[in-house]
Structure 1
């Protein structure tokens, strides 16, 4: 029982804190403090505190014995295991060297290699991002290969369809491409470069399609089906709509909300109106190209001032051809425009009919109260557009050709041309272009001009024989003998005239008006008096004027009767009579001058004087027939023979100069008649003596 108690006592006396003992031992021995603070030293010192005195005293010898024992054990171990120690030493040195190298390698790795690796890893990411993106795009391209190929084939297909005329298929492909673009733009992102390139190529193909359709409108031989098809495709393309790049600034100002167009139709030109304008411009170009060759032929003939009958016939043939081409061309344009833009199938007409159906009461005629302004105004403006074109086609193509060329024709060609133009106007009246009133004015002025020119030509040929010799005028001034005149009996009288003592009809006295002459009511107005045949110049002149009046009888506008009678009186009869009177006066004055010169010698009248008196009577008779037979007959031939108007005292129309020259002739004739009778009395007295 003592041992447990001593053990308990010993165990209870163990010190846990041996710091004081450690300090004591450190100060009293030469042992370094580092050996005393080791954990094993701490345990041993703590164990010493539990030992008794005897045990503490025995500890140095026990420790020494144990030290010798350990020394001998180590010695024997060294002798027996020295190879192991050598190997362990070498291994330890190698391990130390390896650990040192490993430490330096780790330091190099941590200080230089790892930062460089981290930097390279960061740069690698930046360098591989573009490659990864390209690979991603390439992978996406491979995944979407079929769709991309279809997308790339769209411009080629559209171009092929446009080149071969499959416009409907081309528009379907365009709609498909637009839907793809709209889906791509729904993400609020810019379209990919590929899609933009495809859309640009499609836009180019659409422009080519537009040019092809517009070219159709400019082709002369295109008929209504082809034109109708081209216009319908232009409508489907909506190339002139608000969203089109071809639209005008005014058109783009119009807005569309919920499929309905806002704003008044007068704010700008609608797409339908622009297509109609393009249609009219194209067909106008075709019409101009069709009319140009015939128009050049007509103008070439018109610019030639002197046309013979054959050339006038050629000109009439060119005019008929030009009129036929103009009629066919303009009629085709009007009917085509009406069919395409104004019939029930046109968009404007459909809008108009829809507005009529929705209006209360279903009115027959459109009004602003029953029809929506855009539809009705667009339809009305389309109608006014074709009306304007028809008027322009008349004033720009037909009238500029007819106005200068018709006066160059003979009267015989005018009735057929008027008939052709009248039928043409009647046909155009069905489409709202009746220009018969213009024809009336045009042909009236043309007939008046042609009749005037033909009569003037006949007058110039007639009066050309009555030119007074210049020597006759000088002889009158100097009282000298003039050369002989051409004897009037040789060229004024016909071979069938028996003698000159057959007096002409009763003269018109100055107190008797020209309209009251008895010759104005004797005989038919279309048959010339027989006495005119005795005087070839008058007969030829009469035939020339009657030929003009016969041509006038085929086409005699009543609106120009006063113009013609004034022209006949003042320009034809007056000027002819004035020249004849001047010629006769000059001849008579020359005769009197020669009689005065010859009578101063006191010789009797000889055969030469008798011949001169005979020539004098021929001239007086010629003048009497001209002024008292020819002049009244020609006036009756025009007024009564052509226009069936009674030429009597109540007829007030006529020239102002003709009565004056007739009265001058009457005075001259009476004066010469008195002188002639006096000379006859003198000759009778001489014979009696």
Structure 2
């Protein structure tokens, strides 16, 4: 029994008896109505039923054919799948290349920019836009690491090209440090900043390169001075001498310029290096210690360069006032450098002492050689005396034509730098005195205390050799007395040789003039006039040191000249 039957039975059981009896009639009526309706429907809609029946038959046939085709398709699907997989494998590389090309096409503008980065960096380097070049290099490096970590793509080739341009920029920056025009702190600081930012060199290497380049710049400036001095045609190396020269000394001008250029260059180098490297808080203690030692090494080398130049050039400075000026200039220079720990005052003193020693010694020896040559001449005029000079100082002489021995004494009450007038009675002696006084006057401008004994010994040596030659001449050579009234007594006519006692008196006069007036005056001029050491040299001391004095005194005792 289906559900409809069960439902209808339930309906029947719920009816009253009267309704139940009338139910068959209702059913017949309903059946008749349905039959009429069905007949009407069939009559009116039979084409539709025929079409539906035909469609059902056709559908059944089609389903059977579809089932057969589907079975055939299912049977060939594994083969198709295998062919599709093989095709995919064959076009995989093509798809990858197509994908890359698609990406390239979509980013063609950016690719062109990346490929042209090398030219951009080169243009920046040529134009001096180093900051922009460094920024581009950093961006291409980051892009290469991001896009191609393996380092095998085109972007790494572009990076290699950029790195080559950057290396050329490093050379340009280092060359810029050597230029004399790049001596301003902001320019140098900016250049070193570029080198640090590029990361090509570490801090110690940058510091070494900086000092080396700036040292090359300073050396070139100093060499330019040397070239200027040599090409000017005014410099001629001379033997050191403390006698005044009428020729302007190019050695003095050269040294003054040299010291100025050296002072400015070294001070700039030290101050710039300190500001750029030593004042950076980021540097480690080990690096800072190395930088300090590096700076000390370079400054010591520069100081040796200055001292070497002074050692070579100072002997060519002939003017003692120029030496004094140079010493003052160098003293101020050394004092200013003491603030940075480069005080070299204790070194230059010895160099100037050597220059003074050489100049004064040369002056003493030249004057000695000149005097010896003069008195050794065969001309009788060089050993004549002026009677006008001797008579002007004579006291108690019987005749004004005879030299007086009483006046041949040095008056120690006179200033030590004022020559006795009696020296004018003998021209070679007064010329010798003038030559020595010229040297001593130069020494007064710069008289190192340490050289006092040494110069006095050298003077005594020169006087001893000159005196020995002079005593030998005046004790063995016939002398004449000039009758001229000239102040120096050598321009007038000479008398004939004076024989006998008068000739002995003349010899005694000339020897006494040299021993008792000239020698003590010259020694006093050095001892008191230059060094102010009055009373330190007793007469017996120096006389015992000069051998010609003993020779002269021995001759006096053997000759016994008349009064």
Counterpart of 2:218 in structure 1 is 287
In 1, the alpha carbon distance for the partners of 2:415 and 2:128 equals: 74
Matched, 1:637 2:525: yes
CA spacing shift, 1:212–1:642, aligned 2, 3 Å: same
Deviation at 1:377, TM superposition (A): 2.9
Trace 1:364-443 onto structure 2 (pairs within 5 A): 375-396=284-305, 398-408=306-316, 409-443=318-352
Of 506, 510, 523, the match for 1:622: 510
Match of 2:469 among 579, 583, 587: 579
Distance 2:540 2:132 in 1: 79
* Residue 448 to residue 329, structure 1, CA distance change in 2 (3 Å): same
State the match for 1:112 in structure 2. Answer: none
> Superposed, which structure 2 residues align to 1:261-340 within 5 Å?
271-296=202-227, 301=235, 303-305=237-239, 309-340=245-276
**Of the candidates 478, 484, 496, which is equivalent to residue 389 of structure 2?**
496
Q: CA–CA distance in 1 between the matches of 2:215 and 2:383?
A: 66
SS where residue 380 of structure 2 aligns?
Answer: coil
Aligned counterpart for 1:236 among listed residues 197, 203, 208: 197
The 3 A distance-change label for structure 1 pair 648 and 207 is closer
Give the direction of change, closer, same or farther, for the CA distance of 1:505–1:334 in structure 2 (3 Å limit).
farther
- Residue 111 of structure 1 is matched in structure 2 by none
CA 1:312–1:225: 2 relative to 1, 3 Å: same
Alpha-carbon shift at residue 298 of structure 1 (Å)? 5.1
Greater mean deviation of Cα atoms: 444-453 or 614-623:
614-623
Tell me the CA shift for residue 669 of structure 1.
2.4
Q: Does 1:538 align with 2:393?
A: no
Shift of 1:303: 3.2
Structure 1 residue 493 displacement after superposition: 3.1
- The answer to whether 1:171 aligns with 2:153 is no
- Tell me the equivalent position of 1:646: 534
Given that residues 390 and 404 in structure 2 are in contact (C-alpha distance below 8 angstroms), is that contact kept between their aligned partners in structure 1? no
Q: What are the Cα deviations for residues 142-179 of structure 1, in whole angstroms up to 9, with x where unaligned?
A: 23323312311322222222222222222222121111
Give the secondary-structure state (helix, strand or coil) at the position aligned to 1:286.
helix
Q: TM-score, normalised by structure 2?
A: 0.72
* 1:208 aligns to 2:168 (yes or no): yes
Aligned match of 2:16:
none
Question: 3-state SS of the aligned residue for 2:253?
Answer: helix
The superposition leaves residues 317-353 of structure 1 with CA deviations (integer Å, 9 ceiling, x where unpaired) of 222122211211221111111111122xx2xx344xx
CA contact under 8 A between 1:520 and 1:647: conserved in structure 2? Answer: no
Judging changes above 3 Å, is the alpha-carbon distance between structure 1 residues 615 and 534 closer, same or farther for their aligned structure 2 residues? same
Residues 135/386 of structure 1: CA separation in 2 closer, same or farther (3 Å cut):
same
The structure whose Rg is larger is: 1
Instruction: State the SS of the aligned residue for 1:451.
Output: helix
Cα RMSD after superposing both structures: 3.4
Distance 1:298 1:440, change over 3 A: farther
Match of 1:220 in 2: 180
Q: Which deviates further from its counterpart, 221-230 or 134-143? A: 134-143
Q: CA 1:312 to 1:395, structure 2 compared with 1: closer, same or farther past 3 Å?
A: farther
Give the whole-Å Cα distance in 2 for the aligned partners of 1:333 and 1:655. Answer: 58
- More RCO (CA 8 Å, sep 6+): 2
Match of 1:556 in 2: 447
In the aligned structure 2, how far is the partner of 1:295 from the partner of 1:563?
Answer: 34
Is the 2:508–2:556 Cα contact (8 Å) retained in structure 1?
yes
Whether the 8 Å contact between 2:416 and 2:529 is mirrored in structure 1 is yes
Structure 2 counterpart SS, 1:442:
helix
* Pair 135,608 (structure 1): closer, same or farther in 2 beyond 3 Å: closer
In structure 2, the CA distance between the partners of 1:274 and 1:311, relative to structure 1 (3 Å rule), is farther
| Equivalent-residue separation in structure 1 for 2:366 and 2:411 (angstroms) | 26
Q: In structure 2, how many angstroms separate the alpha carbons of the residues matched to 1:286 and 1:381?
A: 23
Say if 1:217 and 1:494 are closer, same or farther in 2 by CA, change over 3 A: farther
Pick closer, same or farther for the CA change 1:504–1:323 going to 2, 3 Å.
Answer: farther
Count residues in correspondence.
Answer: 451
2:413 matched to 1:526?
no
How has the CA–CA distance of structure 1 residues 610 and 638 changed in structure 2, closer, same or farther, with 3 Å as cutoff? closer
Q: Equivalent residues in 2 for 1:83-102 (5 A)?
A: none
Aligned partners of 2:539, 2:403: CA distance in 1, in Å?
32
TM-fit CA distance, 1:526: 2.0
When structure 1 is superposed on structure 2, of 326-335 and 526-535 the one drifting more is 526-535
Match of 1:486 in 2: 380
Cα distance in 2 for residues equivalent to 1:392 and 1:506 = 62
Are 2:232 and 1:341 equivalent residues in the alignment? no
CA distance in 2, matches of 1:416, 1:293: 23
Q: Is the 8 A contact 1:444 1:560 kept in 2?
A: yes
User: Equivalent residue of 2:252, what SS?
Assistant: helix
Q: Note closer, same or farther for the CA distance 1:651–1:635 as it changes in structure 2 (3 Å cut).
A: same
* 2:107 pairs with 1:144: yes
- Are the equivalent residues in 1 in contact too, given 2:456–2:526 (CA < 8 A)? yes
What is the alpha-carbon distance in structure 1 between the residues aligned to residue 270 and residue 297 of structure 2? 11
**1:456 aligned residue (365, 368, 385):** 365
Q: TM-score, normalised by structure 1?
A: 0.60
CA deviation vs aligned residue, 1:532-587 (integer Å, no higher than 9, x gap): 122222222212211211111111110111110011011x2111112112222331
